Amino acid sequence: MAKGISVFLGLDWSLEDNLEYLTQAAQAGFSRVFTSLHIPEANYSQLITEFKQVLDLATRLDMAVIADISPNAYQYLQVEAHDLAAFKKMGLAGIRLDYGFTPELIAGYTNNSVDLLIELNASTMSAEFMQQIMHSGANAANISACHNYYPRQNTGISLESLQQKNQIFHQYNIPVSGFVALATGRRGPLYEGLPTLEFTRNLVPQVAAQILLVAGIEHVFIGDARAELSVLQRVGKLSPDLIELDVADYLSTSVYQELLQQIHTNRPDAAVDVIRSQESRLMLLTNNVIRREVLAENCISRDRGSITIDNIAYGRYSGELQICKRGLAADERVNVIGRISDDSLHLLDYIGDNQGFKLVI
């Protein structure tokens, strides 16, 4: 899994802003950069002037830059048509072919001799078009795919569509990328966010990124142009093996805090109503013999997303941490000790058998 940022030249951010952003992202664990060479609103004289400096810094930071191009990009960059070596010489790791390229031409591009990655538009791809590319002699090992981002509200794709498109590429072992939006630092001219999935447009990026990962996306990019440092650091630490759930509020006793700050694993026989921590009861053992008591408190009704711990009235289950996947009635044997954030509710259904999860407080 790789994480990437987006850098847009000729728009709202100065060259100095973009260079600083690259450095911050590299330090936070990001290794890829997406940029577009065919944004209608961009100032292309400014874009071309700044392009080389961005590529030079990305190279020094060991960040791979993928540029979104259309056939017009050759003219903008003063590159002869189909001269892929010129793109590589600039410092690009790859080019994303947005539109206007035939299957035969794409197949030829993938067999280039300069190790330039060819990235396809995952959102608009059909199984038939992909078959034509492969039947034309394409080198699948030199192909990646990347979904669109959608600047206008209500135009992003559905989760079902994303998963269907992913399957087109995964049958050829081709990795797929997708975008998440930001709440601040959004790119113009609309400033409505740049997500792939419409329903994630206003979710916090750490949740939206995890939704992409569990939906079969290999590489996650921040679509908008300038994430805050705290966001970079949070997204940069995400792992596909561990689902992180933000805690909105919790009871702050020492026992509860100890349990909340651990990494947990859902049971191998995942329950239908709740997520059950395999480790939580053992965490409350002292010398593997004496269980620290969990006394009854806050035994209220449990909403979806409630974090609970069974108290001593539940006998050998005392100390078990659970997260409710649906609303449940109050039980005098179950303490409600907190709840996860509204955004993190979207992740609950992806915590299946033996899935690791962490509560972030």
- Burial profile 331-351: b = 16 or more Cβ within 10 angstroms, e = fewer: beebbbbbbbbebbbbbbeeb
- Strand, coil or helix: 277: strand
For residue 103, cis peptide bond before it (omega within 30 degrees of 0):
no
Q: What is the pLDDT of residue 198?
A: 98
pLDDT at 20 > cutoff 60: yes
* pLDDT tens, residue by residue, 32-58: 999 987 766 666 667 777 888 999 999
Distance CA 309, CA 22 (A): 43
Q: What is the pLDDT of residue 320?
A: 94
- Strand, coil or helix: 342: coil
> In whole angstroms, how far apart are CA 289 and each of 32, 192, 279, 282?
50, 56, 15, 10
Are 348 and 304 within 8 A, CB to CB?
yes
Q: Look at the alpha carbons of 215, 238, 208, 95 in this order and tell me if their dihedral is positive or negative.
A: negative
Q: How many CB atoms lie within 10 A of CB 148?
A: 21
pLDDT at 339 > cutoff 80: yes
Q: What's the helix, strand, coil split of the chain in %, to 5?
A: 35, 25, 45
- The percent of residues above 70 in pLDDT, for the chain, comes to 96
Q: Look at the alpha carbons of 315, 265, 360, 262 in this order and tell me if their dihedral is positive or negative.
A: positive
Q: What is the pLDDT of residue 73?
A: 75
Q: Are strands 356-360 and 274-276 parallel, antiparallel or unpaired?
A: unpaired
Average pLDDT score over residue span 152-167: 98
In the chain, the amino acid numbered 202 is: N
- Strand, coil or helix: 132: helix
Q: Look at the alpha carbons of 302, 308, 313, 317 in this order and tell me if their dihedral is positive or negative.
A: positive
Average pLDDT score over residue span 137-163: 98
Average pLDDT score over residue span 267-273: 97
Q: Where does the pLDDT of residue 190 fall: very low under 50, low under 70, confident under 90, or very high at 90 and above?
A: very high
What mean pLDDT is reported for the chain?
A: 93
Are 265 and 356 within 8 A, CB to CB?
yes
Average pLDDT score over residue span 85-96: 94
Q: What is the pLDDT of residue 291?
A: 62
Which tokens in the block code for residue 294? 């969990």
Of 288, 302, 316, 305, nearest to 349 by C-alpha is 305
Are 212 and 175 within 8 A, CB to CB?
no
